[in-house]
Amino acid sequence: LNASRSYDINKNELSYSWESLDGLNLSSLSSMTPIISSPIDLESDSTYRVVLEVNDGYCSDYDTLLITIADNICPIADAGETVRIPKFSTMPVELNAGGSFDPDSSNLVFEWTTPTGEIITDSVVTVEDLEPNKRYSRYIYTLKVMDEENSISEDSVEVIFSNFSAPEAPAIYAVADHNRVLVSWDATSESSVDSLTGYADFEGYKLYRSTDGGTTWGGNGDKLYDFNGHFVGWMPYAQFDLSFEEDEDHCIYDEEGCESGLTRDISINGLDPLAPRFSLGYDSGIEYSFVDSNVIDGVKYSYTITAYDIGFDPFDLEMDNLGIATDTVLIDTIENISYSYVVDSIYYAGGCVYYSIISYNEIIMMDTLWTTTNPDEFLGPDSIIYYNEAGDAIRKAGNPNRGYYSLESAKGGNSDNNFITVIPGYTALDISFPDASNIEALFKTGSQNIGTGIREYFIVDRTKIVQDQLVYEIQAEQGSDAVEGMACEDPYVFGYVVKDTAGTPLTTKSFVQDDLGFLEEDSISGLPGTILENGSYFVPEYDIITPIGQWSNQFKGIRFKIQNKLKLNPSSAPDIEMDTLIWTHVDTGQTLDSATVFVLNNTVIPELSYTNIASYKRRLNSDYMVEFFDSPVGDSIKLGEDNNGPIYMYTPFRITNLLTNKKVGLNCLDFGTNNAGPIAFNDGAGDFVWTLGEDILLQKDTIKVAGEWVKKYNYNFNLNFIREPGSGFSMKEYDELKSYDTGDTVSFKQMSWVANLPVDAGTIPLSKHNDLANDGERNNPWSLVYPWPDSIKLVLSPQKFFVDGDNWFSDMSALGREVGIADSIKLDTIKVVPNPYKASSRFNELKNNRKIRFTHLPKKCRISVYTLTGEHVTTFDHEKDFDGNAWWNLRSGNNQDGPEIAPGLY
């Protein structure tokens, strides 16, 4: 049963209670989805009543469900899970319907239908590869089971015959500039699944560069040779692989979601053990772009990007002591083993039957452990064929450990999406692009935004730039424990085209409000950019929806990433990093002068820290204002009571939560400087004086959760400062045998004190609590010294999560905006390269083909060439949206189609 369509209009969390009125067996009665256990002895169809109660913490509502159970319960057909069989296996493989059952009968009739249409009336069927010469074959076998009352249940199973497969190659893009090329690629390879094992075994990318159109991918020093001198590949121009953490957390079966919960739990790096001329990477972390600065303007460069997997490592050997190993062998070879052994177990994998055997050498024994990257216990072939760079087989080697080398997608050619050719050079003279570091130029922050994460973009393909106006907006869910309004869970970025800077969607889809149920309206009304007008919701047509924290696909010529600086679900609360620290005057709100701010930032050290992971998951997103005073009059903390009444610690600051504008209730353990401990008396423990570096506990921080105002202990506040001699602080320890004059300063229990009056010997500095003699007056001549002036405030602004509704306006016309040609720009800005031209240029010339480059051109211009005597040689037009380069083949005639010119001056 499922109560997921129950709801509370105030969105309070619901509890569930189920009850059967007619004796039907239910389990998980307090869950949203209880389970019915059906009776199996019915003589006729029977109906049962089940009552659901939902409660929001204040009141309840009820619903009754009628459940009809037929007297005959249908059988359950179970054809099994997907079967993956190596193409290199010769062992027969059977499908077994033995997992099928009938709850109220034991007699079932089985019927298998093969891919050829043949009917097999047995519970077991032998599968066959109908296309053995193909790299990959997929078949569906259908199972029917029928009980004694002719009720039928069907199931099917997928049977795959395959070799190991390389990941799919990504699409490549390139943007050329003066003396640089930005090469980028998409992330499609990362969702690749090995066609044999079903594992998501992607590991990294390799980028190659060519200056001859892809005939070669480097020089002689970039060639890789095996031990026998065969040319087996090229060193990549750049390589990126999963980082240590990304490897460990990478899901075995799918690249995101990870429903199985199985991860690699190891890092993949170093040389490939089965092909040691090739590297698996060095935990660099995945990148999607590479800036090639080792280029020459005007020279043609080709790039190809490939993706590679982790290879295949089936098992490890675990030793009980030191010494001899075990072995794993095919059943048809076990009789040929020359040494003594015992059979430990028999298992089935990839369509083969295997014995796990253990050999002994006195007290030494080893056993087979399947690796975490191979939970389905596949084995590779018993021999491996190796190939050269051209794809020709060069040798066959035994493979006793049954692994396989890393597979890499093919390098691209002119017609492939992982191959591209570009020519670096200047962009057009009369257009401009914003500096990518100026993110506000393309992603202008909304005035009500809360999150302070990262925004990045890069141009993928200038020819695909669409100069629209766009709004990007966060869509996220409210966590049950989060502060109200801080919806941060499962965040996505929605992008849509708008008409104006106000964010009016260009195209929408309408929904009549009265036609919507509560859940439908709740879902639609919260979508980004949705407007309620005249009884209808108008929802934008979204051009892109992409998860937070991932690079988007190519979108209108760019790729972008909006990412929280904070992890949403860490195992423990991380350290807090401040986004900003702002010092101002309490009275005027004006920022302090730069000299004072410089001194304070270098002497006063404020830190916030989470109390635990629960406080972190409240998604606090709050700024805190700390008001400072030059004496301990900011706040009072009750530490206990004595015979004279309550005992208070007085602080020189007061803290306010700026999200709620409520003062935060404080506490302190009074453990002294840096929380040294309860008996660290020389460090200020137990003296009722707030001491530098002594944690202040923000135990009564008033926040709103699920509609209720509650006081929570979210943060600890630690305030340390540096006591600089000569700035009102003394490093001289207080001497109880010495008397002091007015204005003298001493250090006592890690704090500095100043004498307000002449001080007799033995009069020690005391807290305000101990100093009061029931007369409301300070009787002790000592006062504390702090490194800040009176009546200033500091706003602590920690990094914040992006929340539902955070948005950015983007005017794509900023990319390649026409700026015109300034009057100050002369013709000599335009260059002719090379000049002089001597026999040839470096610009990828072919036989009977010359090349001179005009650079720094505007988008549109006409180039005419004359001899020094004024004779017209040729005229041709340049018209490119972004490119500021044009080429002349040193031929006369219109459009360079005449004979080659003679040497001379032009």
Q: Mind listing the pLDDT tens digit for each residue in 205-264?
A: 999 999 999 999 999 999 999 999 999 999 999 999 999 999 999 999 976 678 888 999
- The model's confidence at residue 328, banded by pLDDT at 50, 70 and 90, is very low
**Pairwise CA distance, residues 439 & 456, whole Å:** 7
The pLDDT of residue 775: 63
pLDDT of 373 higher than 70: yes
The pLDDT of residue 80: 94
Q: What is the largest CA-CA distance in the chain?
A: 113
The pLDDT of residue 617: 95
Pairing between β-strand 83-86 and β-strand 152-162 as defined by DSSP bridges = parallel
pLDDT of 446 higher than 90: yes
Q: Give the pLDDT mean for 160-168.
A: 95
What single letter denotes the amino acid at residue 717?
F
Contact 516, 536 (CB under 8 A): no
Q: Output the pTM of the full model.
A: 0.83
Q: Rounded to 5 degrees, what angle do the CA atoms 330, 331, 332 make?
A: 90
**Pairwise CA distance, residues 678 & 694, whole Å:** 12
Tell me the three state secondary structure of residue 634. coil
- Of the options 3.40.50, 1.10.3210, 1.10.3470, 2.10.10, the CATH number for the domain spanning 724-786: 2.10.10
User: From the CA atom positions of the chain, what is the Rg in Å?
Assistant: 38
The pLDDT of residue 269: 94
> What is the share, in percent, of the chain residues with pLDDT greater than 90?
75
Mean of the per-residue pLDDT values of the chain: 90
pLDDT of 773 higher than 90: no
Q: Give the pLDDT mean for 650-659.
A: 96
C-alpha of 352 from chain center: 39
Residues 6+ apart with CB under 8 A from 541: 496, 505, 506, 507, 508, 509
Q: Mind listing the pLDDT tens digit for each residue in 25-34?
A: 999 999 999 9
Same fold, 83-162 and 724-786: no
> What is the share, in percent, of the chain residues with pLDDT greater than 70?
92
Q: Can you give the residue ranges of every domain in the chain?
A: 15-69, 83-162, 172-312+408-422, 315-398, 431-506+541-564, 567-722+789-803, 724-786, 820-896
The pLDDT of residue 589: 87
Tell me the three state secondary structure of residue 488. coil
Q: Give the pLDDT mean for 544-566.
A: 95
Q: Mind listing the pLDDT tens digit for each residue in 815-835?
A: 999 888 877 676 778 999 999
Q: Give the pLDDT mean for 728-744.
A: 87
DSSP 8-state code for residue 829 = G
Compute how many other C-beta atoms are within 10 angstroms of the C-beta atom of residue 142. Answer: 16
pLDDT of 325 higher than 50: no
Question: CATH homologous superfamily for 83-162?
Answer: Immunoglobulins (2.60.40.10)
Contact 819, 789 (CB under 8 A): no
pLDDT of 496 higher than 90: yes
Contact 373, 385 (CB under 8 A): no
The pLDDT of residue 278: 96
